[in-house]
Amino acid sequence: MNTTVKEKEILRGGQFLVKETHCDDVFTPEDFTEEQNMMKEAVIEFNDREIIAHRERFEKKDFAFTEACMRKAGDLGFLSVAVPEEYGGLGMGFVSTMLVCDYISSGTGSFSTAFGAHTGIGTMPITLYGTEEQKQKYVPRLASGEWFGAYCLTEPGAGSDANSGKTTAELTADGKHYKINGQKMWISNAGFCKLFIVFARIENDKNITGFIVENDPANGITLGEEEHKLGIRASSTRQVFFNDCMVPVENMLAGRGEGFKIAMNALNVGRIKLAAACLDSQRRITTHAVKYATERKQFNTPIADFGAIISKLAEMATSAYAGESASYRAAKNIEDRIEMRVAAGNSHQEAELKGVEEYAIECSILKVAVSEDVQNCADEGIQIFGGMGFSEETPMEAAWRDARIARIYEGTNEINRMLSVGMLVKKAMKGHVDLLSPAMKVQEELMGIPSFDIPDYSELFAEEKEMIAKLKKVFLMVAGAAVQKFGPDLDQHQQLLLAASNILIEIYLAESAVLRTEKNAKRFGEDSQKEQIAMAKLYLFNAVEIIKKNGMEGIISFAEGDEQKMMLMGLKRFTKYNNYPNVVELRNTIAEKVKAENKYCF
């Protein structure tokens, strides 16, 4: 589409915080091309037919069935969406990749994890960092599903601290091989993969190195038993042991000591795709829940008519809507940035790498937000089903169990929360995002006398957009003061970082929901967006409450006396509505629609 997008036009990663984004500049799910919509339908059909129809097999730990589904997905081309055409892939853009990941992932976390591990961390390190020979040799097989891939980073002693692994790679005397020794843990797809991306340390290198390792039991590779897990029961998860495993030197990925960078970049892509992988779950859970709630009667009333249930349905739909809005917004930013770089002469590989890296902050934000939203959504789903929600006969309990992993892998949510703020501060230091001048402006504003004029709010979202601008000030005020106070030691104040990241996350999601809705209201008419408008408002209201709490916590934990007073005053001013929304009415509006359509319908 926009192959001529200019660098300056695209918001850089993290800049959403300091720039106002125009609604025409965000991509929304309503902007899917015809091709994308066809892809979406095909994936939904596959998911319904091959996965959801056999849901119980996954719960019974039918690992072979997961593999068979992966094979079928390969036959249909779904494993190759992101793979360039020259390596047998469909070479579709980042948005399409997200879309497939989104709609293919909702049947069960077991398949979703197998799919994510294979197409993401199992394949991407080669497409992003491989040599031409490596790509020629391996990528077509992975793209077609002839081979499956797995990713061996974690070790018993090295989880969040991924660079601390003890697995070693030793160059053989003839200089032709590396001999790998070590123990990897929690390896998804281990049970049926043909290829491992393995990270190991050469000598006393500071950083680990990545290798492509073919799975061959005769070559010193043994697997542990399947782990018994809370959820994603039919996702193969095993330990992998390397005993003098010989890997040809030409199978090293990128350069020596570049493994940590590879690992982290693979995780960036992994994170935003994981967010996508939680979206359709939310939609389907909401749909199941509303169908049950309109049928189930207690006290001679469909439970869907009780305020308690209305509230749940509305919040479930709203969080799914906001998650979609933010995920596709970021996805398109990434896609545009890749295209921009390609247009500027970068190789596709280089462009993709840099494109995703640029939005690492958004990737972390999305990973945290959407993984928690799907957990809450499934939790409310269970509750709506009452006792039946606790039964394996309904799909709620598996959805709840499966959702739990998304908060742990691809970097725990704690790590991602701290990363999001940490990376932003780093970007500011490097001058990539100017936080300082807006932060200083906020400081000045705090000293000044606030205007008591009530602006004209007649336009759609006028007050909401003003509120979002104010919420950004809250972040700048809190984070700015914290940076001033603690300087480079800030990262040792984790509770503060966590509070700041909660603010950041809510701003991104709320803004994305508002912008998407504004864009759609402009083109399709406000009337057509009545419930979406209600969702954007409801999301924002909830976001404001979260931001109040986290802002408060931050401020009172590092500021005292007059400074504290001033900042609390600022917090109050920046989180105050002139016209509070009637949240009960908003929820009623949203739930009415979901009930009338008897499904998630946005």
Contact map string, positions 225 to 254, toward its own copies, x by CB under 8 A: --xxxxx-----------------------
* Residue 415 in the binding site for ligand FAD (CB under 6 A): yes
Q: Which is nearer to ligand FAD, 160 or 437 (CB)?
A: 160
CB 435 to ligand FAD: min, Å = 23
Q: Which is nearer to its own copies, 216 or 392 (CB)?
A: 392
- For residues 281-340, which are near ligand FAD according to CB under 6 A? 296, 298-299, 303, 306, 308-309
Is 161 exposed, middle or buried (CB count within 10 Å of its CB: 0-12, 13-18, 19+)? exposed
Q: Residue for token digits 């990973």?
A: 367
Question: Which of its own copies, ligand FAD, none does residue 187 bind to, with CB < 5 to 8 Å depending on kind?
Answer: ligand FAD
- Contact region for ligand FAD (CB under 6 A) — 331-339, 410-418, 466-474, 543-551? 410-418
Q: Residue for token digits 């990545």?
A: 210
Q: Which is nearer to ligand FAD, 237 or 420 (CB)?
A: 237
Q: Which is nearer to its own copies, 351 or 535 (CB)?
A: 535
The DSSP letter of residue 392 is T
Please, what is the end-to-end C-alpha distance for the chain in angstroms? 25
Q: Which is nearer to its own copies, 330 or 378 (CB)?
A: 378
**Residue 80 φ then ψ, to 5°:** -115, 10
CA–CA distance, 338 with 540 (Å, rounded to integer): 31
Question: Which of ligand FAD, its own copies, none does residue 153 bind to, with CB < 5 to 8 Å depending on kind?
Answer: ligand FAD
Question: Which of ligand FAD, its own copies, none does residue 282 bind to, with CB < 5 to 8 Å depending on kind?
Answer: none
Identify whether the C-beta of residue 170 lies closer than 8 Å to the C-beta of residue 209.
no
Contact map string, positions 144 to 163, toward its own copies, x by CB under 8 A: ----------x--xxxxx--
Kindly list the distances between the CA atom of residue 571 and the CA atoms of 16, 132, 205, 357, 412, in Å, as whole numbers in the listed order.
20, 54, 47, 32, 29
Q: Where on the phi/psi map is residue 468: left (φ > 0), alpha (ψ -120 to 50), or beta?
A: alpha
- Contact region for its own copies (CB under 8 A) — 197-205, 380-388, 464-472, 509-517? 380-388
CA–CA distance, 14 with 371 (Å, rounded to integer): 20
CB 141 to its own copies: min, Å = 29
* Residue 592 in the binding site for ligand FAD (CB under 6 A): no
Strand partners, 214: 195
Q: Please give the distance of CA 180 from its chain centroid, rounded to a whole number.
A: 32
Closest CA to 325 of 10, 112, 602: 602
Question: Which of ligand FAD, its own copies, none does residue 584 bind to, with CB < 5 to 8 Å depending on kind?
Answer: its own copies
* Residue 206 in the binding site for its own copies (CB under 8 A): no
Q: Please give the distance of CA 457 from its chain centroid, rounded to a whole number.
A: 34
* Residue 187 in the binding site for ligand FAD (CB under 6 A): yes
Q: Could you write out the DSSP letters of every residue in 74-103?
A: HHTTTT-TTS-GGGTS----HHHHHHHHHH
**Residue 84 φ then ψ, to 5°:** -60, 150
CB 493 to its own copies: min, Å = 7
CB 268 to ligand FAD: min, Å = 14
Question: Which of ligand FAD, its own copies, none does residue 151 bind to, with CB < 5 to 8 Å depending on kind?
Answer: ligand FAD
Question: Which of its own copies, ligand FAD, none does residue 552 bind to, with CB < 5 to 8 Å depending on kind?
Answer: its own copies
Contacts of 355 (CB under 8 A, 6+ apart): 94, 334, 335, 337, 338, 341
* Residue 349 in the binding site for its own copies (CB under 8 A): no
* Residue 266 in the binding site for ligand FAD (CB under 6 A): no
CB 383 to ligand FAD: min, Å = 5
**Residue from the set 306, 445, 526, 530 that interacts with its own copies by CB under 8 A:** 306
* Residue 409 in the binding site for ligand FAD (CB under 6 A): yes
Q: Go through 538-555 and write b for each residue having 16 or more CB atoms within 10 A of its CB, e for each that does not.
A: bbbbbbbeebbebbbbbb
Contacts of 413 (CB under 8 A, 6+ apart): 367, 368, 371, 372, 407
CA–CA distance, 190 with 441 (Å, rounded to integer): 53
* Residue 188 in the binding site for ligand FAD (CB under 6 A): yes
Pair of tokens at residue 266: 């693979």
Question: Do β-strands 301-302 and 221-223 pair in parallel, antiparallel, or remain unpaired?
Answer: unpaired
Q: Which is nearer to its own copies, 433 or 534 (CB)?
A: 534
- For residues 150-179, which are near ligand FAD according to CB under 6 A? 150-154, 159-160
Residue tagged active-site, from 410, 463, 511, 531: 410
**Residue from the set 82, 213, 405, 510 that interacts with its own copies by CB under 8 A:** 405
**Would residue 410 show up in a list of annotated catalytic residues for this protein?**
yes
- Counting other chains too, the contacts that 427-431 makes at CB distance below 8 Å and 24 or more residues apart are 427/13, 427/14, 427/361
Contacts of 228 (CB under 8 A, 6+ apart): none
* Residue 494 in the binding site for its own copies (CB under 8 A): yes
The DSSP letter of residue 457 is -
Question: Which of its own copies, ligand FAD, none does residue 231 bind to, with CB < 5 to 8 Å depending on kind?
Answer: its own copies
**Residue from the set 58, 94, 111, 186 that interacts with ligand FAD by CB under 6 A:** 186
H or E segment to which residue 178 belongs: strand 177-188
Question: Do β-strands 221-223 and 237-248 pair in parallel, antiparallel, or remain unpaired?
Answer: antiparallel
* Residue 185 in the binding site for its own copies (CB under 8 A): yes
- For residues 521-550, which are near its own copies according to CB under 8 A? 545, 548-549
- For residues 497-536, which are near ligand FAD according to CB under 6 A? none
**Residue from the set 49, 133, 248, 580 that interacts with its own copies by CB under 8 A:** 580
Identify whether the C-beta of residue 337 lies closer than 8 Å to the C-beta of residue 355.
yes
The DSSP letter of residue 492 is G
Contact map string, positions 409 to 438, toward its own copies, x by CB under 8 A: x--xxx--xx--------------------
CA–CA distance, 13 with 306 (Å, rounded to integer): 43
Strand partners, 155: 158
Site for ligand FAD, rule CB under 6 A: 117, 150-154, 159-160, 186-188, 229, 237, 296, 298-299, 303, 306, 308-309, 383-384, 386-388, 390, 405, 408-409, 411-412, 414-415, 494
| Residues annotated as catalytic (active site), given as ranges | 410
Site for its own copies, rule CB under 8 A: 154, 157-161, 164, 185-186, 227-231, 297-299, 306-311, 382-383, 386-387, 389-393, 397, 400-401, 404-405, 407-409, 412-414, 417-418, 492-498, 545, 548-549, 552-553, 556-558, 564, 568, 580-585, 587
